[in-house]
Homo-oligomer: A and B are copies of this chain.
Amino acid sequence: MQSRSLPVTAVKLEKGFWAEKQRLVRETVLPYQYSILNDQLPGVEKSHALENLRLAAKAQAGEPLDEEFYGMVFQDSDVAKWMEAAAFSLAAERDPELEQRLDQVVELLERAQFPDGYLNSYFTVKRPGQRWTNLQEAHELYCAGHLMEAACAYHEATGKDRFLHIMERCADHIYQEFMQKNTRGYSGHPEIELALMKLYRASGNERYRELAQHFVDVRGQEPHYFVEERKNRDWYVWQPNDVALDKDYTQSARPVREQRDAVGHSVRAVYLYTGMADLARETGDPGLKEACERLWESIVQRRMYVTGGIGSTVLGEAFTVDYDLPNDTVYAETCASIGLIFFARRMLELEPKGEYADVMERALYNTTLAGMALDGRRFFYVNPLESAPGIAGEAATQRHALPQRPQWYACACCPPNVARLLASIGSYAFSAGENTLFLHTYLDGRLESPFGWAMRCETGYPHDGRVSCTFLDPAETTVALHIPAWSRRTVLLHNGKEVDLSGVVREGYAYISGTFAPGDKLELVLDMEPRKVYASQRVPADSGRAAVQRGPLVYCAEGADNGGEVFSLSLDREGGLRELAFDPTLLGGVAPVVAQGWRTEAIKELYTSCRPERVPAEVRLIPYYAWANRGLNQMRVWLPEN
């Protein structure tokens, strides 16, 4: 059964884990990021993103430019993602000041737009007259896509259509450029495909779906567009190198329907697959659906970290080969896990299989959350599963894998990406099919189904496995609750009476159909017992090791809880795991886990043939997402087990 995610306006969070995250986004992250985008925060990497747009607006007005464009070719997208996050945040809670700030940026975008609809500060300020000459590198369609997503969010949140019209004009211009002029170009960095699908739904304009389809279809065809484009171009964004010339890097080595392995730049990959899956749902194209399923398998069965991270190497920020999942030289970009969540959501909309929701939760509750500090002011771009300060961030092969979150980045794609995801979590948690409401993950809040009834869910998830959903209106409907694969003993109560799950669970969802009255309750009790996780013997990096997971949360050992030293710790093979009480004062509220294990005594030599003694030790573990919030610390997810 196909389904469609609920709009963010349908979900109101009031308390609990996600309400707190959204409050943090609203009160801290959005103002903090705005001040950076507006160059008002000293001592951090300069953004200049809003200033670039002001320069573009001046250029449109024929005024002289007193400054140069600064930053990445895709600097506009930082503004777009911030706007999207701000819009989602407005949907959750009115905020006139924020809305006014947003409206000012919308007005700025309007002024920066060309009369023909074209909108991009880099090309306007730095490369006038060179539009569409470097689709491979210059992120022109990518930036447009992010602005389209922001416009849709703004429209959904506020009902105002000014921004939407700006981006419709932009999309119309792109349609004309790429469809009516019949060029075979497409973006080096996918994003426009999924954005056009959103714009199509927001506007109802079929041409945008048609354009998305076009971009998906021409990708990877021969003669190769990027090869031809380079022949006619005398400028580069980056020096051409092996990575830039590698067609896999841009997922364009072959037409998308023929792609079998997830390759290349991992963010590009999952953004592309998201657009493909969205289109496959819309058009029913079986070849496209099969390609999505193959690429999904390639990722989740062979190329994904236990934390839901993807991209094993900094070289091209890319996928490598099957089972190559190093924990320390890893990339696992925050944006890539966010993209994997997008892909999972589209696959869920296409077909409700628990596996998609399981992976969505893996990426969400681990790598994505780890992308932001608990205080909302520092961000990881790279998310290692093992970090030894002194080596991490220092050694040539780990220079990218910082042991602490910086305040900002010259390439700042991740921070606003986290913000927009957290601000729109309701859309990922719920979707609606044929008179069926799907719950993919659990959050505490009230939702309005599109079937005329509302429901309140109460839960301490992801720290607690009890979820209580109460109907607020009479309903004759089906509720489909995701039963995560990690929950070994799941109990579901319908008005206090246990449901025989064997009769109602299909592919990871419990389907409860019936006539419900206000006050009727569905109570789910997931098995939150912490447990060890093992990787395939095909993953050399994890052999002889175990990780600990509790509910959807992967845990890690951090120095701060373990006397400063985690690399001398091991888990006892037969030893148990003990969950400590939820501690609201620790790391914003976590339930630590203590594992029976061993500490090997320190040796002075580099190598010794005297076996070091070991003593029993309690290995204290915290959720991975909360690491690196207490200064420089050793950290390890996969611990030796002996």
Contact = CB atoms under 8 A, between A and B. Distances in A.
Nearest to A398: B324
A558 to B, nearest CB: 14
Interface string A364-395: 00000000000000000000001010110011
Number of copies: 2
Given A301-B606, A328-B540, A606-B539, A394 B534 contact: no
Interface stretch (A133-141, A276-284, A563-571, A624-632): A563-571
A450 interface: no
Nearest to A327: B540
Contact of A321 (B321, B395, B565): B395
B544 A640 contact: yes
Interface in A597-642: 600, 602-612, 636, 639-642
Contacts of A497: none
A534 B567 contact: no
B396 A609 contact: no
A565 B318 CA distance: 27
A537 B549 contact: no
Contacts of A539: 567, 606
A535 B607 contact: yes
Contacts of A535: 606-607
Contacts of A124: none
Contact of A607 (B306, B328, B540, B641): B306
Contacts of A531: 609
Interface stretch (A73-81, A309-317, A458-466): A309-317
A551 to B, nearest CB: 12
A92 to B, nearest CB: 34
A396 B331 CA distance: 12
A544 B570 contact: yes
A606 B326 contact: no
Contacts of A611: 532, 534
B326 A536 contact: no
Interface in A425-471: none
- Of the listed residues A394, A544, A636, the one surrounded by the most CB atoms of chain B closer than 10 A to its CB is A544
A486 interface: yes
Contacts of A609: 486, 531-534, 549
A93 interface: no
A184 B80 CA distance: 55
Contact of A390 (B300, B323, B328, B602): B323
A33 interface: no
Given A396-B313, A397-B320, A397-B329, A536 B603 contact: yes
A573 interface: yes
Given A533-B607, A538-B567, A544-B545, A315 B386 contact: no
Contacts of A607: 306, 533-536
B641 A300 contact: no
A14 interface: no
A302 interface: yes
A304 interface: yes
Most buried by B among A300, A397, A570, A602: A397
A543 interface: yes
Given A538-B567, A540-B328, A304 B606 contact: yes
Contacts of A313: 395-397
Interface in A36-86: none
A328 B320 CA distance: 14
Interface string A320-351: 11111010110000000000000000000000
A532 B603 CA distance: 15
Contacts of A321: 390-391, 394-395
A17 B457 CA distance: 75
Contact of A329 (B326, B602, B603, B639): B326
Interface string A541-578: 00111000100000000000000010110100100000
A397 to B, nearest CB: 5
A395 B323 CA distance: 10
Interface of A: 300-302, 304, 306, 312-313, 315-316, 318, 320-324, 326, 328-329, 386, 388, 390-391, 394-398, 486, 531-540, 543-545, 549, 565, 567-568, 570, 573, 600, 602-612, 636, 639-642
30 contacts: A300-B606, A302-B606, A313-B396, A315-B396, A320-B391, A322-B390, A322-B391, A323-B391, A324-B394, A324-B397, A326-B328, A388-B540, A486-B609, A531-B609, A533-B607, A533-B609, A534-B603, A536-B604, A536-B606, A536-B607, A537-B567, A537-B568, A537-B600, A537-B602, A538-B567, A539-B567, A540-B636, A544-B545, A544-B642, A549-B609
